[in-house]
Amino acid sequence: MNDTIDVTVNGERRAVAGGTTLLDLLEALALDPRVVVVEHNRAIVRRPRLGRVTVAPGDAIELVHFVGGG
């Protein structure tokens, strides 16, 4: 039995474990949730909800990094 699902992250297909939350995905990608905006199926997900939103097959996730500078 294959327990991975396919999702699209920033336009690229990626296999993730079933039951993966958005927070799990950020951790797997070594991204700090404090400096990333997450869009899940065209809706912005606020930081406190990242650990409660589970991805499903075919979901589209966009990750936007904040870059500091002056």
- 29-51 pLDDT, tens per residue? 999 999 999 999 999 999 999 99
The CA distance from 64 to 57, in Å, is: 21
Candidate from 21-25, 55-59, 64-68 with smallest mean pLDDT: 64-68
Is residue 66 scored above 70 in pLDDT?
yes
Within-domain flag for 43: yes
Q: Which domain holds residue 52?
A: 4-65
**Tens digit of pLDDT for each residue in 8-21?**
999 999 999 999 99
Question: What is the pTM (predicted TM-score) of this model?
Answer: 0.90
The CA distance from 27 to 15, in Å, is: 15
Within-domain flag for 70: no
Give pLDDT, residue 1: 45
CATH code for the domain in which residue 20 is found: 3.10.20.30
Within-domain flag for 40: yes
Neighbours of 40 (CB within 10 A): 19
Query: How many structural domains compose the chain?
Result: 1
Within-domain flag for 59: yes
